[in-house]
Amino acid sequence: MGLFALPDELEALRAAARRLAETEIASHAVDADRDATFPWASFEAYRDSGLVRAIYPEHLGGDGGGALAYAVLVEEVARVCGSSSLFVLISRLGVTPIVEHASDALAGAVVPRVAVGEWQASYCLSEPEAGSDVASMTTRAIRDGDHYVLDGRKSWITNAGISDVYTVFAKTDPAAGSRGISAFVVPRDTPGFTIGKLEHKMGMRGSPTGELVLEGAVVPADHLIGAEGQGFAYAMGALDTSRPIVGAQAVGLAQGALDAAARYVTQRRQFGRAIAEFQGLQFMLADMATQVEAARTLVYRACSMVDAGGPTVSKVSAMAKLFASDTAMRVTTDAVQVLGGAGYTTEFPVERMMRDAKVTQIYEGTNQIQRVVVGRRLLDEVTT
Ligand SMILES: Cc1cc2nc3c(=O)[nH]c(=O)nc-3n(C[C@H](O)[C@H](O)[C@H](O)COP(=O)(O)OP(=O)(O)OC[C@H]3O[C@@H](n4cnc5c(N)ncnc54)[C@H](O)[C@@H]3O)c2cc1C
């Protein structure tokens, strides 16, 4: 194993994930996208394969894989179906604050069920008026004896209505700004909690995105994750470890589009020969492949820094998400171009991958916000 090669157990995980993706997930991708329906058959195959456990800690019922394992799994699923890669990603992100900060009792009640795919989880930070500026959220949580009462709206929530459990960030002390935010576990059947409108989206159409409505939603006080006032730090910490995984999702989408383009050029003939023979297309494919490899390398580097548990991974995580998602947008757009008119139709997966790739530049912080993070850290480093 060289310095930049993955260890054997991660290559074995990749092989298993690719097998599952190609045999059980790819075949549902078109329907999920066209009908905007959650691909339950794909989720159930993922759950039943046992691969779901790969990315949860051993003491909470998982196989103990770290960020690199998580990246490989998401990448391989995204290579065939972006929407399905989102169910792999979002449950893990949803429980990250619980894994990292909740009491043993709360973590033990939630995470083992998510780790075997019995439950799914969502991560609920954004609001209609608080997107990039999440600290300006207005959802309130007020302590009332041995309960908290939650009121407000969360927006853009991935797998709203599908998930069984929701990690919700809300203000316990509005005067304290970002230090007045706390995190709660809100089960799907909580009184006063309903799913609001679902969005009609360009891509990732097999993953519902919707609003949570909290109207006097009552959760037991022991559903507070960690300490009051720490929610913003928990939310940002979870994003620091998840952004490279959005990068992995982007790499998977780009790889899927590149593979489809490379296959197509060997089959399509114009001017009496396979279009693969035209150097103009070979150069495009060479640039696409080089960009995908560079993005993958940065994503894995960020993941290995997450796994090493260094002091701060914010900068490299933001770089990985930024670079990989911009790469995915470019490579999937070029893949459509390589296929010509065929690329513009739903006969081929590349237009879906292009639409799916777009959101990787937007969620978990837009790429402008990633540049803000990178710029700030960079300047902190030179001034300290
Ligand atoms: C499909 C989908 C799924 C999502 N899933 C989730 C989820 O599961 N949980 C969740 O909590 N959220 C989720 N989100 C929300 C997502 O994280 C936000 O959309 C994102 O953070 C941007 O917020 P906004 O949409 O309010 O855009 P805005 O913040 O209104 O941004 C609008 C524009 O202004 C730019 N901008 C804003 N501030 C700055 C700045 N300081 N400098 C430069 N430019 C700036 C932005 O980059 C953007 O181009 C999801 C979004 C989508 C589309």
Instruction: Kindly report the three-state secondary structure assignment for every residue of 147-200.
Output: EEEEEEEEEEEECCCCCCEEEEEEECCHHHHHHHEEEEEEECCCCCEEEEEECC
Amino acid identity at 134: V
Q: What is the pLDDT of residues 92-146, one digit of tens each?
A: 999 999 999 999 999 999 999 999 999 999 999 999 999 999 999 999 999 999 9
Provide mean pLDDT across the span 56-81.
Answer: 98
Q: How far is the CA of 132 from the centre of ligand 1 (A)?
A: 5
Q: For CA atoms 228, 233, 236, 240, give the dihedral sign.
A: negative
Question: 27 pLDDT exceeds 90?
Answer: yes
Q: How far is the CA of 200 from the centre of ligand 1 (A)?
A: 16
Question: 121-228: what fold?
Answer: Butyryl-CoA Dehydrogenase, subunit A; domain 2 (2.40.110)
Amino acid identity at 350: V
Question: 384 pLDDT exceeds 80?
Answer: no
The finding on whether 183 has its CB within 6 A of some atom of ligand 1 is no
Q: How far is the CA of 139 from the centre of ligand 1 (A)?
A: 17
Which DSSP letter does residue 6 get? P
Question: 301 pLDDT exceeds 70?
Answer: yes
The finding on whether 131 has its CB within 6 A of some atom of ligand 1 is yes
> What span, in angstroms and rounded, lies between the C-alpha atoms of 357 and 278?
27
Write the DSSP assignment of 315-371 as a string of letters: HHHHHHHHHHHHHHHHHHHHHHHHTGGGGGSTTSTHHHHHHHHHGGGTSSS-HHHHH
Q: What is the pLDDT of residues 201-257, one digit of tens each?
A: 999 999 999 999 999 999 999 999 999 999 999 999 999 999 999 999 999 999 999
Residue listed under structure tokens 């994503």: 299
The finding on whether 163 has its CB within 6 A of some atom of ligand 1 is no
Phi, psi of 35 (to 5 degrees): -95, -5
> What span, in angstroms and rounded, lies between the C-alpha atoms of 364 and 103?
26
H/E stretch holding 212: strand 209-220
Q: Could you tell me the two tokens for 88?
A: 């792999």
| CATH H-level superfamily of 8-115 | Acyl-CoA dehydrogenase/oxidase, N-terminal domain (1.10.540.10)
Contact 14, 22 (CB under 8 A): no
Q: What is the pLDDT of residues 180-201, one digit of tens each?
A: 999 999 999 999 999 999 999 9
Contact 348, 256 (CB under 8 A): no
Cβ neighbours, 10 Å, residue 69: 22
The finding on whether 158 has its CB within 6 A of some atom of ligand 1 is yes
Kindly list the domain boundaries of the chain, sorted by start residue: 8-115, 121-228, 232-383
Helices (H) and strands (E) in the chain, counts: 11, 10
> What span, in angstroms and rounded, lies between the C-alpha atoms of 137 and 361?
22
pTM here? Answer: 0.98
Q: For CA atoms 360, 363, 364, 368, give the dihedral sign.
A: positive
Does CATH number 1.20.140.10 belong to domain 232-383? yes
